[in-house]
């Protein structure tokens, strides 16, 4: 077994230190080393978006980032989206619009949608569909997901 | 939104209508907050002390005899705790049992979990490893030496039925409607449904269209890979946490494979990240149990990779299909023939039987014949996929129906109304329909704003198609505990994939005339309630909902009985209306009554059901496409689905089922397929190359919920989960014809295939123009 590395990072706003093997992905470290199971592995190679997190505010597939790479950087996962016990408007609208069925892709969609709205508070339907093309959902046909994101965007405007 | 609602009575259907208070509303599901915050526990999320991680080694060959397996180097690797092969499984019996959704030969079931004599597909499991972390498990698996004798692969119907075809299973003999063949074969079974006089029907026809079609293997594509954790307790009990559509189906299969009594095994269903039929068969569960046993009873978790999911689970059958339909001069169908050749994968059991029933089900036909062939090939053992077998055959039938309507000069919707099946008509196997809504779904599309609107522009076209799914009843068990504060704990064992905890709780709330929020629904393990069939066959909201309705009736009745005692009145004098119990001058709201009736004795109810008369579902759909003549790419411009939903308990979740089925059907129609090389290696086992629809590939999907209540359910529920995937491929193909003048006879209608067909048509028409060379 490889020698473990200590990584210092800001995780969902908290200063955090953890140990990981050099070969572990950020996704694996989040789930197995840090107990944050909200980020999901659907493919392990960047095609489904179920593991998406924000790295210094930029949307990334956590399965394609090595855990030691987040040294000194800031990571926000699905567990960091709700603030002060209040659901984020995206989380609330996903519930109201029935935007999830099985729910396995939902954390990734919410993180991705937050990244979109942080950058573009009033996207068109096409903008939403283009941005979310990196997230696969097999249950919903995307209709109710896109409506939820547009609803949040309109609410903010 | 273009959403409208209709029902069979012509009355508008609004939320909470027809006297319902809860049914027809759209509350948030009980598991919703956990799922939007990342707290919901799926199979791969299970953690426990001392957990070992498993990895499964898979065959690199499509067809090979396993001469020997040497695991010594793997066992010697530091961190490895156990290695298993098929030799660690009990010898399986060659007998057939029904353990989930359909009959399974136990030897095939066991051999699929760990290959015994032969590897029958690229990705077939051959050994398992448990180690202290998943990386070491994987490294150890690579040290296992398997000596294979590589055999020629059999990849398609045509390969399998060829004169000198290599034989996959030496003991297999063809079952021709009970008559067992004598020679080794790849044709597992053949059956025929027939009625009327086929020859006379075709002889008297004004017009006959006879076409053949090919559809490729596709995968269910759930985003959560299979995963399971097995734990041995000191008292000999075994627990499995797994992502499954049926905890009892897992219990049954694992107990049969491992030859242990059901009393030793508890299956705990975790949250499930999609199934669509693909999470009924067991794959890693028995391997985790034997690894755990061999590793000194430490718990073992196995999480499949995406590549393994695509290579070794699911998929559904590729098929060759012939459809021949004749019509008289008025457009009435005079005779119909369908021949269905379905690839079962490595072991018998394609969905060809179900496909036969789907084939001509939307039409009233006096003279018909449907032949079904179940054929084994060196692909993964096929699993159910949403209306199993239906999409393939509906693509073929609906293409022929469209061609007939066109040649008759009839509107394709009018053709379907004229020939539409209705009450008392029969589906291909003879089953007689009760009240059904096929024609209503066609009329809903015909009269829709979408169908009535003009579609202009070159390379654009509109198509429609219909589809059928029989749905299912199955067995369900549930219990309800009345709490003294008036809330009810509902325990049921139907794993919830798309919001069924809500739709079942809503039926209990409606039955008891209480608020939805008063019912706390949860999915429990196999030790907690009695046997419960899989979440499949579009049965859960129907059958488990029926159990919930019964629970409500029982609790109400017992509350009345106890109140009659308290108030010293006759039972018949106690009324319950608008959430208030009363008798003469006595009156008590439900919440207070819940406490009063339990002062001396607690109150709970249990219900088991096995409804036989489930209501079939029909759907008709309309799509507008645009074809890019440069690339052959199809863009879906607009899509509308009409579906007979019986009664929508939770309309948002019903719409979600409709939209999801359509999206999967579109993927099947235009992109998804298994691609193999000549040696039978799967070339596209990733979500980049196995191309499922993204948000950018689809428009909003407009839904029309047609409500023709099912007479045998107290609220009129029909299953809604599956029929929506049946028509899309036919509808898209018919739209592509309108756009290009080409009838595509192969699925998927991928850019490459369509472009080639467009070039061929161009070349053909160039030859026909005189002097233009």
pLDDT digits (tens, 9 = 90+) for B452-470: 999 999 999 999 999 999 9
Q: What does the DSSP 8-state code read for residue B500? A: H
Gyration radius (Cα) of chain B, Å? 27
Q: What's the pLDDT at B377?
A: 98
Cα separations in angstroms, B609 against B326, B438, B548: 43, 28, 10
Which helix or strand (DSSP H or E) is residue B353 part of? helix B352-359
Q: Quickly list DSSP for B501-565.
A: HHHHHHHHHHHHT--GGGEEEEE--TTTS-----S-TT-IIIIIHHHHHHHHHHHHHHHHHHHHH
Chain B residues near residue A41 by CB distance under 8 angstroms: 44, 225, 303
Q: Quickly list DSSP for B230-276.
A: EEE-TTS-EEEEE--S-HHHHHHHHHHHHT--GGGEEEEE-B-S--T
Three-class SS state of B291 = helix
How close B497 comes to chain A (CA, Å)? 5
Cβ-contact B240, B301 below 8 angstroms: no
Residue B278's nearest CA partner among B305, B246, B240 is B246
Cβ-contact B537, B719 below 8 angstroms: yes
Cβ-contact B154, B63 below 8 angstroms: yes
b/e map B336-360, b = 16+ CB within 10 Å: bbbbbbbbbbbbbbbbbbbbbbbbb
For residue B653, the chain A residue with the least C-alpha distance is A98
Residue B338's nearest CA partner among B320, B350, B364 is B320
May I ask the CATH class of domain B1-40+405-471+615-773? alpha beta
Average pLDDT for B599-610:
97
Average pLDDT for B682-711:
97
Cα separations in angstroms, B430 against B355, B424, B553: 14, 10, 36
d(CA B730, CA B593): 56
CA torsion, ordered A33, A39, A40, A41, to nearest 10 deg: -60
Q: What's the pLDDT at B772?
A: 46
Which residue among A39, A110, A141 places its CB closest to the CB of B701? A141
Best of A51, A79, A96, A138 to mutate (most B CBs within 10 Å, chain B): A138
Chain A residues near residue B695 by CB distance under 8 angstroms: 128-129, 132-133, 135, 137, 142, 145-146
Question: Residues near B644 by Cβ (< 8 Å), separated by ≥ 6?
Answer: B436, B437, B438, B440, B441, B617, B618, B619, B706, B707, B708, B718
> What pTM value is reported for the model?
0.96
Is pLDDT above 60 for B479?
A: yes
Is pLDDT above 90 for B679?
A: yes
Residue B17's pLDDT band (boundaries 50, 70, 90)?
Answer: low
Residue B495's nearest CA partner among B113, B100, B112 is B100
d(CA B660, CA B387): 13
Q: What's the pLDDT at B11?
A: 36
Question: Residues near A42 by Cβ (< 8 Å), separated by ≥ 6?
Answer: A48, A49, A50, A51, A104, A105, A108, A136, B223, B224, B225, B273, B306, B687
Chain B residues near residue A21 by CB distance under 8 angstroms: 135
Residue A94's nearest CA partner among A75, A73, A117 is A117
d(CA B682, CA B217): 11
How close B498 comes to chain A (CA, Å)? 4
- Sorted by where each starts, the structural domains of chain A and their CATH numbers stand as 5-79 (3.10.20.30), 89-156 (1.10.150.120)
Span B474-609: which CATH code?
Answer: 3.30.365.10
d(CA B465, CA B607): 40
How close B614 comes to chain A (CA, Å)? 24
Q: What's the pLDDT at B635?
A: 98
Chain A residues near residue B33 by CB distance under 8 angstroms: 87, 91, 95
How close A71 comes to chain B (CA, Å)? 22
Cα separations in angstroms, B234 against B50, B264, B528: 14, 12, 21
Chain A residues near residue B696 by CB distance under 8 angstroms: 129-130, 132-133
Average pLDDT for B326-346:
98
For residue A109, the chain B residue with the least C-alpha distance is B36
The three state secondary structure string of B108-151 is HHHHHHCCCCEECCCCCEEEEEEECCHHHHHHHHHCCEEEEEEC
Q: Does B272 touch chain A (CB under 8 A)?
A: yes
Share the mean pLDDT of chain B: 95
Chain A residues near residue B664 by CB distance under 8 angstroms: 138
Residues B244-301 have pLDDT tens digits of 999 999 999 999 999 999 999 999 999 999 999 999 999 999 999 999 999 999 999 9
How close A139 comes to chain B (CA, Å)? 5
Tens of pLDDT, residue by residue, chain A (157 residues): 578 999 999 999 999 999 999 999 999 999 999 999 999 999 999 999 999 999 999 999 999 999 999 999 999 999 999 988 899 999 999 999 999 999 999 999 999 999 999 999 999 999 999 999 999 999 999 999 999 999 999 875 4
Sign of CA dihedral B193, B199, B204, B207: positive
Q: What's the pLDDT at B329?
A: 96
Q: What's the pLDDT at B289?
A: 98
Residue B7's pLDDT band (boundaries 50, 70, 90)?
Answer: very low
Chain B residues near residue A130 by CB distance under 8 angstroms: 696
Asked casually if ipTM beats, i.e. exceeds, 0.95, the reply is yes
Q: Which residues, in sequence order, are bridge partners of residue B70?
A: B145
Q: What does the DSSP 8-state code read for residue B616? A: P
Q: Does B207 touch chain A (CB under 8 A)?
A: no
Cβ-contact B571, B561 below 8 angstroms: yes
Residues B507-525 have pLDDT tens digits of 999 999 999 999 999 999 9
Q: Where are the domains of chain B?
A: 1-40+405-471+615-773, 474-609
> Exposed (0-12), middle (13-18) or buried (19+): which is A28, by Cβ within 10 Å?
buried
Pairs of residues, one from chain A and one from chain B, whose beta carbons lie less than 8 Å apart:
188
Q: What's the pLDDT at B2?
A: 34
Question: Residues near B312 by Cβ (< 8 Å), separated by ≥ 6?
Answer: B58, B121, B123, B124, B125, B283, B304, B380
CA torsion, ordered B683, B687, B693, B694, to nearest 10 deg: -150
For residue B40, the chain A residue with the least C-alpha distance is A38
Q: What's the pLDDT at B97?
A: 76
The three state secondary structure string of B197-213 is CHHHHHHCCCEEEEEEE
Which residue among B33, B222, B662 places its CB closest to the CB of A141? B662
d(CA B60, CA B765): 46
User: Are residues B695 and A129, on separate chains, in Cβ contact within 8 Å?
Assistant: yes
Chain B residues near residue A141 by CB distance under 8 angstroms: 656, 659-663, 693, 698, 701
Cβ-contact B373, B342 below 8 angstroms: yes
Residues B82-106 have pLDDT tens digits of 999 999 999 988 888 776 656 778 8
User: Are residues B38 and A138, on separate chains, in Cβ contact within 8 Å?
Assistant: no
Best of B38, B136, B222 to mutate (most A CBs within 10 Å, chain A): B38
Q: What's the pLDDT at B769?
A: 65
Which residue among A41, A132, A144 places its CB closest to the CB of B44? A41
Q: Does B65 touch chain A (CB under 8 A)?
A: no
Q: Quickly list DSSP for chain A.
A: -PPPEEEEEEETTEEEEEEE-TT-BHHHIIIIIS--TTS--SSSSSSS-TTEEEETTEEEEGGGSBGGGGTT-EEE-GGGTSBTTBPPHHHHHHHHTT--SS-SSHHHHHHHHHHHHHH-SS--HHHHHHHGGGS--SSS-SHHHHHHHHHHHHHH-
d(CA B359, CA B432): 15
d(CA B44, CA B701): 32
């Amino acid at each position: 077994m490889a020698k473990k590395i200590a990584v210092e990072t800001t995780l969902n706003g908290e200063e955090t230190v953890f140990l990981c093997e050099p070969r572990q992905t950020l996704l694996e470290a989040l789930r197995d080393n840090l107990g944050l199971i909200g980020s999901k592995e659907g493919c392990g190679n960047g095609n489904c978006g179920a593991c998406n997190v924000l790295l210094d505010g930029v949307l990334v597939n956590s399965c394609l980032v090595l855990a030691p790479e987040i040294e000194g950087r800031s990571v926000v996962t699905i567990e960091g989206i709700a603030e002060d016990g209040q659901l984020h408007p995206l989380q609330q609208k996903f519930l109201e619009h029935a935007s999830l069925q099985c729910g396995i892709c939902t954390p990734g969609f919410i993180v991705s949608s937050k990244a979109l709205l942080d950058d573009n508070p009033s996207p068109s339907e096409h903008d939403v569909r283009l941005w979310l093309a990196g997230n696969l959902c097999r249950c919903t046909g995307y209709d109710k997901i896109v409506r939820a994101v547009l609803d949040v965007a309109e609410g903010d405007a | 939104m273009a959403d409208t609602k209709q029902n069979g009575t012509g009355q508008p259907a609004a939320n909470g209508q027809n006297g319902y208070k809860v049914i027809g509303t759209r509350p948030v599901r009980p598991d919703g907050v956990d799922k939007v915050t990342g707290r919901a526990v799926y199979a791969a999320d299970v953690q426990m002390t001392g957990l070992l991680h498993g990895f499964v080694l898979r065959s690199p060959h499509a067809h090979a005899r396993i001469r020997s397996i040497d695991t010594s180097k793997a066992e010697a690797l530091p961190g490895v705790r156990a290695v298993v092969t098929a030799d660690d499984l009990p010898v399986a019996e060659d007998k057939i049992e029904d353990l989930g959704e359909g009959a399974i030969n136990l030897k095939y079931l066991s051999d699929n979990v760990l290959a015994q004599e032969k590897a029958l597909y690229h990705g077939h499991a051959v050994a398992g490893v448990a180690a202290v972390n998943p990386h070491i498990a994987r490294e150890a698996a690579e040290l296992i030496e398997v000596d294979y004798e590589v055999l020629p692969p059999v990849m398609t119907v045509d390969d399998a039925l060829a004169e000198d075809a290599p034989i996959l299973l030496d003991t297999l003999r063809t079952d021709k409607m009970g008559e067992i063949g004598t020679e080794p074969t790849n044709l597992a079974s053949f059956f025929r449904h027939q009625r009327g006089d086929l020859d006379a029907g075709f002889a008297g026809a004004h017009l006959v269209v006879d076409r053949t079609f090919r559809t490729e293997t596709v995968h269910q594509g759930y985003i959560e890979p299979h995963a399971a954790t097995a734990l041995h307790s000191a008292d000999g009990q075994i627990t499995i946490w797994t992502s499954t559509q049926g905890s009892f189906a897992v219990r049954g299969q694992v107990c049969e494979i491992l030859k242990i009594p059901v009393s030793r095994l508890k299956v705990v269903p975790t949250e499930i990240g999609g199934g669509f039929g693909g999470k009924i068969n067991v794959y890693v569960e028995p391997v985790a149990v034997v690894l755990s046993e061999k590793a000194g009873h430490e718990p073992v978790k196995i999480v499949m990779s995406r590549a393994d999911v695509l290579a070794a689970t699911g998929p559904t059958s590729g098929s060759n299909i012939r459809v021949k339909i004749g019509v008289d001069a008025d457009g009435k169908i005079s005779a119909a023939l369908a021949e269905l050749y379905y690839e079962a994968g490595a072991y018998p059991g394609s969905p060809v039987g179900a496909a036969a029933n789907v084939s001509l089900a939307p039409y009233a036909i006096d003279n018909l014949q449907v032949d079904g062939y179940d054929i084994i090939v060196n692909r993964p053992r096929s699993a159910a996929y949403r209306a199993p077998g239906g999409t393939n055959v509906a693509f073929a039938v609906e293409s022929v129906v469209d061609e007939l309507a066109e040649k008759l000069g009839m509107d394709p919707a009018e053709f379907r109304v004229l020939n539409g099946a209705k009450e008392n008509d029969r589906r291909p196997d003879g089953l007689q329909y009760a009240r059904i809504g096929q024609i209503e779904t066609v009329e809903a599309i015909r009269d829709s704003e979408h169908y009535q609107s003009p579609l202009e522009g070159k390379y654009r076209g509109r198509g429609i198609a219909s589809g059928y799914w029989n749905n299912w009843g199955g067995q369900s068990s549930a219990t309800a505990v009345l709490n003294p504060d008036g809330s009810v704990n509902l325990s049921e064992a139907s794993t919830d994939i798309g919001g069924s905890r809500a739709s079942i709780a809503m039926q209990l709330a409606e039955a008891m005339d209480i608020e939805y929020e008063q019912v706390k629904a949860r999915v429990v393990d196999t030790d907690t309630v009695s046997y419960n069939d899989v979440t499949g066959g579009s049965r859960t909201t129907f059958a488990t909902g029926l159990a919930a309705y019964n629970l409500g009736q029982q609790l109400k009745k017992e509350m009345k009985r106890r109140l009659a005692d308290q108030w010293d009145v006759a039972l018949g004098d106690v009324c319950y209306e608008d959430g208030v119990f009363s008798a003469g001058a006595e009156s008590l709201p439900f919440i207070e009554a819940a406490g009063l009736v339990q002062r001396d004795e607690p109150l709970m109810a249990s219900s088991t059901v096995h409804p036989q008369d489930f209501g079939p579902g029909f759907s008709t759909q309309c799509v507008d496409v645009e074809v890019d003549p440069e690339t052959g790419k199809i863009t879906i411009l607009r899509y509308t689905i009409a579906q007979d939903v019986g009664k929508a308990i939770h309309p948002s979740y019903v719409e979600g089922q409709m939209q999801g089925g359509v999206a999967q059907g579109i993927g099947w129609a235009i992109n998804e397929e298994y691609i193999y090389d000549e040696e039978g290696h799967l070339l596209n086992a990733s979500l980049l190359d196995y191309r499922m629809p993204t948000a950018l590939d689809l428009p909003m999907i407009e839904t029309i919920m047609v409500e023709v209540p099912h007479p045998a359910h107290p609220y009129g529920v029909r299953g809604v989960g599956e029929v929506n995937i049946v028509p899309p491929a036919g509808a898209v193909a018919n739209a592509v014809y309108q756009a290009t003048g080409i009838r595509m006879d192969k699925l998927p209608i991928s850019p490459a295939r369509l472009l080639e067909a467009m070039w061929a048509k161009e070349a053909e028409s160039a030859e026909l123009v005189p002097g233009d060379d």
